Every structure is written in structure tokens, then in C-alpha cells.
Amino acid sequence: MDTCNQWAPCFREGYCDANAMFCLWGLCDPIKSFNSTSCWQPESCSTQAIAFDNPADAIPIKSYSGNPQANSFLSVFEPNNAIVTNGNLAMQMTYDSAQKKGFGATVTASHTFQYGRVTARVKTASIAPGVVSSFIVRNDQTGDEIDFEWVGKAPAQVQTNYYFNNILDYTKMVPYDVGADTSADFHDYTIDWSADTLVWLVDGKVIRTLNRKDTFDPKTNTYAYPTSRSRIAFSIWDAGNSGAQGTQEWAGYPTPWGPNTMYQMLVDSVQISCANDSTNLPPPPPPSPPSPPPSSVSPIAPPPPPQKCIPRPTYY
């Protein structure tokens, strides 16, 4: 049963509205939206290189018109802590006194991605315990995910993991020693994803390979291997003050904060090569419907809850 109306047709995390923050494919819940066409259709993947030399390369999601050719990445939280500056995508985290923890940023691609190769040149923000930087390929609806993560208590290490069907199996995490402080300089991190094999690389060196055939689970008669159309994303968040013991032990805690403390993750460039490239991108979505008549009441949607930190297990 839908919970939205024609003036605010898209449902996300308990609210309805008509802009990209609610209607973007992957964020929008098609079951609870006004009708089957309310959520925007998924965009085609596009082979491209983003150098972050143009402010339009990453914009706040509420400013997004729906044309992925105009904007490669979207900052999904408010207030917006992501900006293109000095040839980088800068994602910052500052202290939120109301929440008593840091408020960071998540930036997601405007194009979808299903099989191919993506390389991000990243300088992490993981200079202190509790600060987490991440580079992921994820489908929020199915829970399929492929990731690189960096935790502040181990700045010279990167962790790789994958998830299938929203089953949070943290035992599949594999750490890798980069050999240098990842917050001190840029390194290239690559996810090479096909229907049969998943490869993680650092500075061009293969550090992990997963074969789909090795993920078969006889109990469920399924391959626990991510296959869903997804989005590429980057984020910085405060795990050290999350309040979840397992998460804090994983990342280090407490996250140190002072009056002027700010943590920053930088992305210098992103190179995307799609297995099924398409230049026939869909047109922007139709303009929002006209305002309802005065007698009608449409839901007024505050922004969705800022950051949903995946809890880590207590044994981690």
C-alpha cells in the first residue's frame, strides 16, 4: 500500500517528497511510493574519468536535476559536508554537539554500476581512532556491497569486504598493509567486478580475489556473491563515538574532538570502466507536479536521518 501522494510521490525512510533525495533509484522505496513509476528509473552505467576539476562534478543531491551527464556525484546528507576544491572531492567531518559525535558525508554516483572496473585515488581521513573512510559499491535495496574501508586505529591498513543480500558477515573482512600512512598521501584503490570474479587492487597490485564459485552456500542453495546493480560511493563517519561497542572496538575509540577539530577525506580522481557501457542515458525525469490546491495536504519531508552506521559485531 502506498503512503505518498501525487505531489510528494517518492518514499524514503519514512518520508515523501518529489526531489532526487527521495526519488533517486536505489534510495526511493518503490513499494511505498505513490505508484510504480514514482521512483526514477536507474541510470545507465557510463565509462568516464572524473578529475574533480569542476564544481559540477559533485553537488548536493537536492540540487540534482536528474541528468547524470551533468553531475557525476551527489552529496546525500544535509548539511552538506562535501565540496569540489583544489582538484579534489573533499569530504569533511565536524563535531555535532547535539548528537555528541561527528557528522560526516556520503557522496554517491549519479550513474549505476553493474560489473566493470572502478579506480579511486584516495587520501583517507583515518588519522585518529574512530574515524572511518570508505569507498564502496552498494545497492541499498538488496544489501549487496563491495568495499574498501580504512579505520583510524590502523592508518597504514585498508580492509576489504563484501556482502550479499544484506547478510552482514564481518568474518569475510581481509586486511591489507598498504605500507604507508593512507592519510598522508594518495593511493589508487581498484574494484574489478565481473559476474564470476571480484578483485581488489591497491596501487595496481592485486591484494584479494574472490571467485563466485567459492561462495556457494548449500544450506540456501545460493551463491553469496554480490550481483545487484549498484552505486559507487564514498563516505566519512564517526565510528568511535557511535555508541555500538563492536563498531567502536573495530575502528578505535573514542574519536578525539576539540573545538576546531575537522577530519577530511580527499578523492583526487575516479575512473570508471563499465562492462556494459551505454551512452544512451535516460533523459532527466519529468518536472515535479504542480503544487497541490490549498485544500490538499501533502507530506512535508524533513531530510532523512543523516547517517546510518552499520553496527559492527561485538566480537570484532
**Which three three-digit cell numbers place residue 194?**
565481473
| Active-site entry in 13, 43, 78, 145 | 145
Give CA 60 to chain center in angstroms. 14
**How, if at all, do strands 231-238 and 73-75 pair?**
unpaired
Q: How far apart are CA 11 and CA 27, in angstroms?
A: 9
Q: How far apart are CA 121 and CA 270, in angstroms?
A: 7
| Active-site entry in 13, 43, 78, 149 | 149
**Which three three-digit cell numbers place residue 74?**
551527489
Question: What is the helix (H) or strand (E) element at residue 92, kind and residue range?
Answer: strand 88-96
Q: How far apart are CA 210 and CA 173, in angstroms?
A: 12
Judge residue 53's burial from the number of C-beta atoms within 10 Å of its C-beta, 0-12 exposed, 13-18 middle, 19 or more buried. Answer: exposed
- Structure letter (DSSP) for residue 290: P
**Is 149 part of the annotated catalytic residue set?**
yes
Residues 11/28, Cβ–Cβ less than 8 Å:
yes
Strand partners, 10: 17
The SS3 assignment for 260 reads coil
Q: How far apart are CA 267 and CA 182, in angstroms?
A: 12
- Catalytically active residues are 145, 149
